[in-house]
Amino acid sequence: MIDQQQLAQNYSPPRQRAGVLTQPEAHRAMLRGIDKLLAAIQPTLGPRPRIVGIERGTRDTSPELLDDGAVIARRIIELPDQYENIGAMLLRGMLWRLSEAVGDGTATAAVLYRTVFAEGLSYAAAGGDLTQLRRHLESGLAAIITALKSQVMPLAGTAMLADFVKSVCDDDDLAQSLTEILEVTGALGLIDIQGGQARTARCAYFEGNFFTGGRHGAGSGAIEFEEAALLLTDFDLKEPDAVLPVLRLALREKIENLVVVARNVAEPVAALFARSATSSRLRVIAAKTPGSTTLAQADALHDLVILTGGRPLLEASGDTSNTVYPGNLGYARRVWIDKNYLSIRGGRGDLRQLRAHIAELQKAFEAATETDIRKGLRDRIGRLGSGFAILYTGGSTASEIEARVAMTKRALRTTRGALRHGILPGGGLALLSCRDLLQRRLGESRTPDERAACNILLKTVAAPFGALAQNAGYEAPALLAQMEHGLPGPAPFCSFDGIHDSAAAQIEALRYAVASAALALTVDAIVYRKLPELALRPDGAG
Amino acid sequence: MPSDGHSRTVNALATTADGIIYCAAQSGLKRSVDLGRSWRNVGEAAPATVICALDAACILAATVGAVQISEDAGASWQARALPSPSTIVSSLLATSESILAATLEDGVLRSDDGGMSWRGWNFGLLSWRVNALCRDSAGIIWAATESGLFRSETDGRSWQDQADFAQASILSLDATAEGGLCLGTTEGALQICGNPRAGKTLARQWQVPINAICAIGERIAVLHGQTVSVSDGESGFEALSYTDATSIKWLDEARLLIGTKYGLVHRIDLP
C-alpha cells in the first residue's frame, strides 16, 4: 500500500497558471500530450509486447509492471504542462471507458486516436473545415465497422481457443491453464484469479453453487451437511425465541440438518445453534444472506430458492419466523459452508424453473450495457452452473505476481468477449483489409472534406500494423510491400494466420478512437483555471 | 442361470470382442464363456447395477457404494469406494483419461486415478439425476438426465445443455453407428437423431418408460416397460415374445441378449 504521507512529500504539483490557449497552439499542445501518453502505451502492442514499469510514488517499493494500456494511462494522473495535459486526459478518458466496456484493445485505440488527431490537424493547417471533417470521419467509421463485422468468425474448438488465449497473453503456461479453465467452466463460468508463489499456473475446481457470505458465528472451520433443509430469509435474528418455531418445525418434519440463512444472527441465537452441533436429532447452522447490498441479497435469495425449492421469508412481505411452514424449506443433497462461502450441491429445486431462470439471466446479460450490471449477471449465471474454479498464477516477486494476475484477468476478460462476439484476423490485418473499401469511397468522394476524411481513415487503418512492425523493429511500409507480394514476412509477421483479435475489442477500439479523436479535433480553445493548491495535494493537506 | 425370483434380477449385461458375456445382477456379478449356456459367479456376491467391458481384460461394474474393477477378465476384482452418502450408479464410461460414473443423485462422478478416488464433476450439468451415459462415434459424451440431454466435448470435464431436449426426462440412450443418438424417455417416446445437435425426430411412441436402448449397425433394440422390440433399420419395430425383460445387449448384429427379472439371460438369434 502506498504511504500517503511519503507520496505527498515526493509529489511536486505542476506550476499552474490561468489562461486561454487558442489555435493553432491549442491543438499542438494537445497533440504533444497525446504523444506523451501514447509513448507510454505503445510498447504494449503485440505481437512482441513489452511491459511498462511505473514508479509507485514511494522509493521503498518495487515499480508496478504493466502491460495494459488502460491501466498505464490511468496511472498517469497529470502531465506537467497544463495544456498538453488536456490532450492526454481526453485520450486517457477514452481508453478507460474502452477498457471498462471490452477489456482490451486500448493500445490499438491509442494508436488509432493519435493518427486521426494528427492527420486531422494537418488538414486544419491547410484550411480544412474540422466540423465537416468530423461528420465524414464518422460516416467512414460506420462503413469500416460494417466491413469488419463481415470478417468476424466464431471462436470455436479447443485448438482455436488455445491459439487465441496464447495470442492475448503471450505466455504458454498461462494460456494452457486459461484454455483449460474456460473449457471446463464455459464463457460465463465463475472463475477467480489469485496470485501465488509458484511461477507455474494451476487450476483448482470446486463443485457446487457457491455464494459469498459464509457462516455466522465464531467458528472458522468448514462444515458439510448431507441431505440438508434450508430456510432462506433476510431476517435479523436477535432473540432465541424468534427461531424456536423454526426449530420446532424442523423436528416435526424429522429434519436432521438445517441451514438457516439470515442477514444477521445475534450472539444468543448463534449460541443456541452452536449447541446443536452434537445433537443427533437436529444440527443447525446459520449462514449469512449472500450479497453486500439489499438488491444483491434479494437476487441471491431468489437464486437459492430456485436451486433448492421452497419459498423465502422476507421482511418486506411481512413474513416472520412464526409464519414458517414446511413449504418454506428448500432442500439440497449437500451443503458446505465455511467462514466465506456457502456452497449448495444437488439442490432439490425444480429443474425446469432453474433452466428458465438461467435463460432469463442470460437474456438480461446480453441486453445489459453497464459493466457492473453485466458482471453481476455473469456471476449469477456462473453461480448456477454447478461449479467454481480458481486459477492461481504467480511469480517470484510481488511486482511479478501482481503483473501476472493483472495480465491473466485481462486475458480472461478479452477471451470471454471473443467467445461471445467472435474474432478477427490479428496483427492489424483486419483493419488493413478495409483499405480497399476506403479507396473506393475516396474515388467516389465529392467534397474536399470527404476526401480528407477518407485519406485520414486510410492512414488510420494502417496505423496499428505500422506500430506493431515498429515494436518488432521493422519498417512498416517495407514489411507491408513484402507481404502484399506474397513473400513470407519475418517472424513474428510470417505466422499471422494463427493470430486473432477479439472482434469486440477491435471494433470498439476503432469506434471509440475515431469518434473521440474527431470530437477532440473540434476543440478550438483551451481555458485553464488556476486551481487552489489544496486540491492538488494528494494527501489533502493544505 | 437358475431362476429364483426377483432377487436375481439382471440389471445389466456386457460383452467383449471375444464373446465373453458379463452380467450384473441383484445376486452379484456373473460371467459366461460359452455364449450364455453356463454362468459362474465372479467377485463379491453384492447386488450390481451396471457392468461395462472396456476390453477383453478390463471390466468395470457398479455395486452399492463402490465401483468394482477387474483387470484380468473377471478373475479378480478390486472395490473402489464412492463418496458418501452412497448413491446408485446408473452408468459407467471410460475416457482416455478417466472413469466416469453416472449416478442417480450426485451427477457424474469422475476418477482420474483408476478408481482410487472419486469426485463430483458437474460443471454445466443442471440435473444431477443422470440415467445414462454414452459416447458417440465423434467422441462426444452424452448424458441422459431427468431434465434433458447434456453434451460434453471435453471428455466429461464440462457439460452443455442440449436445449432441444430441455423438457424431456430421458431414461436411456445409445449412439448409432452413423454418429446419431437414440433416446428413450420416461413417457415412452423413442427419438432417433441423425445429428443430435440439429434436433430430434420422434421415431416411435410407447405408453411405458423406455428403460434401455441398444444400437448396433442398422439394428436398434428397445426395452419398453418389460418388453423388447427390435428394428432392423428399414421396417418398423417388432416386439419379441419375451416379457419380464430388465436389460438388453447386442452380442453381435444377429444375436441379442435379454436379461430378465428372474435372473435369466436369453440369447435371441435374429435373421
Give residue-wise pLDDT tens across range A153-184: 998 888 889 888 888 887 888 899 999 999 88
Each residue's pLDDT tens digit, A322-363: 888 899 999 999 999 998 899 999 999 998 899 899 999 999
Residue A116 has pLDDT above 60, yes or no: yes
Q: What is the pLDDT of residue B171?
A: 94
Q: What is the pLDDT of residue B2?
A: 36
Q: Do B158 and A205 touch (CB under 8 A)?
A: no
If DSSP codes are grouped into helix, strand and coil, which group holds residue A165? helix
Instruction: Using a cut of 0.90, tell me whether the model's pTM lies above it.
Output: no
Contact A259, A331 (CB under 8 A): no
Distance of alpha carbon A287 from alpha carbon A284, whole angstroms: 10
Residue B86 has pLDDT above 50, yes or no: yes
Residue A428 has pLDDT above 90, yes or no: no
Contacts of B123 in chain A (CB under 8 A): 184-186, 189, 205, 207, 385-387
Each residue's pLDDT tens digit, A237-265: 988 888 899 999 999 999 999 999 999 99
Nearest to B128 by CA among B157, B156, B151, B148: B148
Residue A10 has pLDDT above 60, yes or no: no
Cell of A315: 421482511
Contact A169, A408 (CB under 8 A): yes
CB neighbours of B56 closer than 8 A, spacing ≥ 6?
A: B16, B17, B18, B20, B73
Most B-contacting residue of A355, A358, A360, A390 (CB-CB within 10 A), to test interface = A355
Q: Which pLDDT band holds residue B81 (cuts at 50, 70, 90)?
A: very high
| A363 close to B (CB below 8 A) | no
| B237 residue type, one letter | F
- Cβ-in-10-Å burial (0-12, 13-18, 19+) of A203 comes to middle
Domain ranges within chain A, ordered by starting residue:
16-152+427-531, 158-194+386-421, 210-349
CB neighbours of A329 closer than 8 A, spacing ≥ 6?
A: A229, A230, A231, A249, A253, A255, A309, A310
Cell of A333: 443433497
Contacts of A184 in chain B (CB under 8 A): 123, 154, 157-158
Q: What is the pLDDT of residue A225?
A: 92
Contact B35, B28 (CB under 8 A): no
Residues counted in chain A: 542
Q: What is the pLDDT of residue A191?
A: 92
- Closest by Cβ to B157, choosing from A183, A351, A386: A183
A291-314 average pLDDT score = 92
| B207 close to A (CB below 8 A) | no
Q: Do A346 and B128 touch (CB under 8 A)?
A: yes
Cell of A68: 495494459
| A358 close to B (CB below 8 A) | yes
If DSSP codes are grouped into helix, strand and coil, which group holds residue A23? coil
Contacts of A351 in chain B (CB under 8 A): 126-127, 146-148
Q: What is the pLDDT of residue A106?
A: 87
Q: What is the pLDDT of residue B197?
A: 59
Q: Do B161 and A351 touch (CB under 8 A)?
A: no
| B167 close to A (CB below 8 A) | yes
A94-118 average pLDDT score = 88
Q: CATH class for domain A210-349?
A: alpha beta
Q: What is the pLDDT of residue A542?
A: 36
Residues 91-120 of B with CB under 8 A from A: 105-107, 119-120
Nearest to B23 by CA among B251, B270, B242: B251
Each residue's pLDDT tens digit, A446-500: 899 999 999 999 999 999 988 888 777 777 777 777 766 666 555 555 545 567 8
If DSSP codes are grouped into helix, strand and coil, which group holds residue A283? strand
Q: What is the mean pLDDT of chain A?
A: 84
Strand order in the sheet with B99-103: B89-94, B99-103, B108-111, B119-120
Residue A233 has pLDDT above 80, yes or no: yes
Q: What is the pLDDT of residue B196?
A: 63
Residue B187 has pLDDT above 80, yes or no: yes
Residue A514 has pLDDT above 60, yes or no: yes
If one compares A22 and A236, the residue with the highest pLDDT of the two is A236
Residue A386 has pLDDT above 80, yes or no: no
Smallest CA–CA distance, residue A345 to chain B, in Å, is: 8
A158-194+386-421 carries CATH number 3.30.260.10? yes
Write out A195-228 in H/E/C secondary structure. EECCCCCEEEEEECEEEECCECCCCCCCEEEEEE
If one compares A150 and A530, the residue with the highest pLDDT of the two is A150
| A256 residue type, one letter | E
Q: Do B123 and A186 touch (CB under 8 A)?
A: yes
Q: What is the pLDDT of residue A220?
A: 67
CATH number of A16-152+427-531: 1.10.560.10
Count of alpha carbons within 13 angstroms of residue A302, beta-carbon side = 13
- Closest by Cβ to A355, choosing from B107, B119, B166: B166
Q: What is the mean pLDDT of chain B?
A: 88
A82-101 average pLDDT score = 87
Residue B69 has pLDDT above 70, yes or no: yes
Cell of A360: 432469463
Q: How many CB pairs under 8 A join A and B?
A: 60
Contact B236, B242 (CB under 8 A): no
Residue A188 has pLDDT above 50, yes or no: yes
Smallest CA–CA distance, residue B93 to chain A, in Å, is: 19
Write out chain B in H/E/C secondary structure. CCCCCHHHCEEEEEECCCCCEEEEECCEEEEECCCCCCCEEECCCCCEEEEEECCCCCEEEEECCEEEEECCCCCCCEEEECCCCCCCEEEEEECCCCEEEEECCCCEEEECCCCCCCEECCCCCCCCCEEEEEECCCCCEEEEECCEEEEECCCCCCCEEEHHHCCCCEEEEEECCCCCEEEEECCCEEEEECCHHHCCCEEEECCCCEEEEEEECCEEEEEECCEEEEECCCCCCEECCCCCEEEEEEEECCEEEEEECCCCEEEEECC
Each residue's pLDDT tens digit, B138-173: 889 999 999 889 999 888 888 988 888 877 899 999
Q: What is the pLDDT of residue A81?
A: 79
Smallest CA–CA distance, residue B180 to chain A, in Å, is: 20
Q: Which pLDDT band holds residue A17 (cuts at 50, 70, 90)?
A: low
Q: What is the pLDDT of residue A496?
A: 53
Contacts of A387 in chain B (CB under 8 A): 122-124
Q: Do A207 and B122 touch (CB under 8 A)?
A: yes
| A419 residue type, one letter | L
Q: What is the pLDDT of residue A533?
A: 58
Residues 258-297 of A with CB under 8 A from B: none
User: If you ran DSSP here, which 8-state letter would residue A521 be given?
Assistant: H
Q: Which pLDDT band holds residue B71 (cuts at 50, 70, 90)?
A: very high
A217-228 average pLDDT score = 84
| A172 close to B (CB below 8 A) | no
If one compares A445 and A52, the residue with the highest pLDDT of the two is A445
A43-47 average pLDDT score = 73
Residue of A nearest to B106 (CA): A346
If DSSP codes are grouped into helix, strand and coil, which group holds residue A251? helix
Contact B141, B156 (CB under 8 A): yes
